[in-house]
């Protein structure tokens, strides 16, 4: 059986170096990735899952914020990823959001962002390395806890924005030791999880690879259900 195909949205600027890391994690987890972005293929009909990757800040106009606050914005990517996130959630396609992707999941479901998270939580607490330096505490009753366990973990959280008001149907599944939201998840199926850190760079850590494995497992189940539904439809035609 072919590996489930996962669409991966990336920045036009940095996608060339980010996608190989994400695709490596998908391959190690039994899946395979295809890179999407502005000007690239973006048809959810032909994929089994979606990863919304990290990168530029999300434009505040998407959630009623003040224009001009974010440092770097790609409005075309904003529009593409919001459309994909909304469609994937509506069609029950599994989604994993990474950093910006976690924020986009929240925005797509009606949530808001803290545009200047380090003004809120203290600029001295900002970390700018891809090495795991920030301690994250996982909620014990969360889906994330079933994937990665409940023990605190060190992650590489590099974001400047953060989840503020939660979107509809979401809950917080992890915070850092300063109280900032570091992971969110959909309360009900389908699988939809967003993490503020970059697990793709931590492929040597089994708890980080488990995030991709959970997505691939959900994508496999989605593909099976879709194929069965299509087969029944063809029989009835």
**What CATH number is associated with residue 79?**
3.40.50.880
* Residue 39 pLDDT: 77
Whether residue 200 lies in the annotated active site? yes
Determine whether 206 is an active site residue: no
Strand order through the sheet with 95-98: 32-36, 5-9, 49-52, 95-98, 192-195, 181-186, 170-176, 134-138, 153-155
Whose tokens are 């194929």? That residue is: 227
For 120-168, the pLDDT digits (tens) are: 877 656 777 778 889 999 999 999 999 999 999 999 987 788 999 999 9
pTM over 0.85: yes
Domain of residue 13 covers 5-236
Weakly modelled stretches of the chain, pLDDT under 70: 41, 66-71, 123-125
Q: Which one of the listed residues 81, 143, 159, 200 is annotated catalytic? A: 200
Active site residue 178: no
Considering 81, 99, 143, 159, which one is annotated as catalytic? Answer: 99
Q: How many domains does the chain have?
A: 1
Please tell me which residue in 90, 159, 198, 206 is annotated as part of the active site: 198
> According to the model, what pLDDT value does residue 71 have?
57
């Amino acid at each position: 059986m072919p590996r489930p195909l996962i669409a991966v949205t990336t920045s036009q600027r940095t996608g060339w170096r980010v996608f190989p890391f994400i695709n490596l994690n998908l391959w190690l987890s039994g899946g395979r990735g295809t890179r999407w972005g502005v000007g690239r293929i973006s048809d959810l009909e032909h994929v089994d899952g979606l990863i919304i990757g990290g990168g530029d800040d999300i434009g505040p106009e998407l959630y009623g914020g003040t224009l001009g606050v974010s440092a770097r914005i790609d409005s075309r990517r904003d529009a593409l990823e919001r459309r994909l996130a909304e469609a994937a959630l509506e069609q029950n396609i599994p989604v994993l959001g990474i950093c910006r992707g976690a924020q986009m999941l929240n925005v797509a479901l009606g949530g808001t962002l803290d545009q200047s998270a380090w003004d809120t939580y203290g600029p001295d607490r900002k970390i700018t390395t891809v090495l795991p330096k920030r301690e994250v505490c996982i909620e014990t009753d969360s889906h994330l806890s079933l994937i990665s366990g409940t023990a605190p973990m060190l992650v590489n959280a590099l974001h400047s924005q953060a989840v503020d008001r939660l979107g509809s149907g979401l809950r917080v599944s992890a915070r850092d030791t300063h109280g900032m939201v570091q992971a969110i998840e959909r309360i009900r199926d389908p699988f939809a999880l967003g993490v503020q850190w970059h697990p793709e760079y931590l492929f040597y850590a089994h708890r980080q690879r488990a995030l991709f494995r959970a997505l691939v497992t959900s994508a496999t189940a989605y593909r099976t259900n879709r194929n069965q539904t299509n087969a029944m439809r063809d029989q009835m035609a």
